[in-house]
Amino acid sequence: MDLELAASVLGVSVAASADELRAAYLRKVREHPPERAPHEFERVRDAYAILSDPDRRIEARLFGVRADPRFASLLDGQRNPREHVGPEPWLDVLKRH
């Protein structure tokens, strides 16, 4: 789920504050409780998870739906010299966007 879709699911802007996100999340959960609308609740939960976590925001902005596993060590701050990714994968990602 990209940032714009996540924001539209919660009914907020992409630049919403933490308080606005929390209020929108709680409002949407009241509208779509998990026992009555499990599919819609999952969308709301996923949207809140993406928008409330700065690392997931970056991941969604860079890669859209799901990050490429080759870049996982770059996104979580872990250095893993055995999984070095050269410049080519980054160029491919940039060319696609």
Q: How buried is 82 (Cβ within 10 angstroms: 0-12 exposed, 13-18 middle, 19+ buried)? A: exposed
Contact 29, 37 (CB under 8 A): no
Superfamily of domain 1-66: DnaJ domain (1.10.287.110)
Instruction: Domain ranges for the chain, please list them.
Output: 1-66, 67-97
Per-residue pLDDT reduced to its tens digit, 8-48: 999 999 889 999 999 999 999 999 998 998 889 989 998 99
Per-residue pLDDT reduced to its tens digit, 42-89: 899 989 988 998 888 887 777 765 544 554 544 454 444 444 455 555
